[in-house]
Structure 1
């Protein structure tokens, strides 16, 4: 498994960032490739994602460590992905959002397409960084 960690500083309170992160139905606004998303019973999330020229359905189990402001997730089928978002207050009006993604490079390539090796790692890093920047914009606009 490969691990990627990225962060972004957001100009909102930790409570507002936490609430924004939990608006699953808005993921299409800041997560590349997500066409729509919805919360289901038992902490599950269903995503409709554009991948390899088509669409793919993904389900994930989501759990919170609310006191620590950590949201953990893992896919419940193929491809096997897992990750987390942790929020840390910088000051009263700013929050650091730390994203962690664990993935198997070959599985990601087979599922979503794209380059191999170092180029793939670079592409995934750029995608996660872009999604975090889009989240920053989304949270700061207060949608």
Structure 2
């Protein structure tokens, strides 16, 4: 498994960032390739994704450690992905959002296509960084 960690500082209080992160239906606004997202029963989410010309439906289980401001997730089928979002208050009006993703490069390539090896790792890193910047724009503009 490969692990990627990226973070972004957003200009909103931790509660606002936390609430925005938990609105799964808003993920298409800031997660590249997500065309549809909805919350389902028992802490599950359904995502309709399009990547490299391929459409996929992905189910994920979400769990919270509310007191620590950590939301963990993992896919329930292929591709096997595990991740978390951790929020840390910087001050009353700023929050650090850290994303962590664990993935098997071969599995991701089979599921979504794209480059191999080092190029794939760079592409995933750029996508996560871009998604965090889109999240920042979304939460700061109150969309």
Q: TM-score range by the shorter chain?
A: over 0.9
- Structure 2 distance, partners of 1:55, 1:48, is 7
Say whether 1:26 aligns with 2:26: yes
Instruction: Specify the alignment match of 1:2 in structure 2.
Output: 2
Say whether 1:103 aligns with 2:106: no
Contact kept in structure 2, 1:61 and 1:74, CA below 8 Å:
yes
Once structures 1 and 2 are overlaid, which stretch shifts more, 123-132 or 46-55? 46-55
Instruction: Specify the alignment match of 1:85 in structure 2.
Output: 85
Contact kept in structure 1, 2:54 and 2:112, CA below 8 Å:
no
1:64-113 C-alpha deviation (Å, 9 max, x unpaired): 00000000000000000000000000000000000000000000011111
- Structure 2 distance, partners of 1:142, 1:52, is 30
Q: How far apart are 1:142 and its partner, in Å?
A: 1.0
Instruction: Specify the alignment match of 2:94 in structure 1.
Output: 94
In the superposition, the TM-score normalised over structure 2's length comes to 0.99
- Structure 2 distance, partners of 1:126, 1:69, is 25
In the superposition, the TM-score normalised over structure 1's length comes to 0.99
Q: How far apart are 1:132 and its partner, in Å?
A: 0.2
Indicate the RMSD between aligned Cα atoms, in angstroms. 0.6
Contact kept in structure 2, 1:52 and 1:111, CA below 8 Å:
no
Work out the number of aligned pairs and report it.
143
1:120 counterpart SS class: helix
For structure 1, the 5+ residue unaligned runs are none
Q: How far apart are 1:53 and its partner, in Å?
A: 1.2
For structure 2, the 5+ residue unaligned runs are none
**Pairing of 1:1-143 with structure 2 (within 5 A):** 1-143=1-143
Contact kept in structure 1, 2:32 and 2:127, CA below 8 Å:
yes
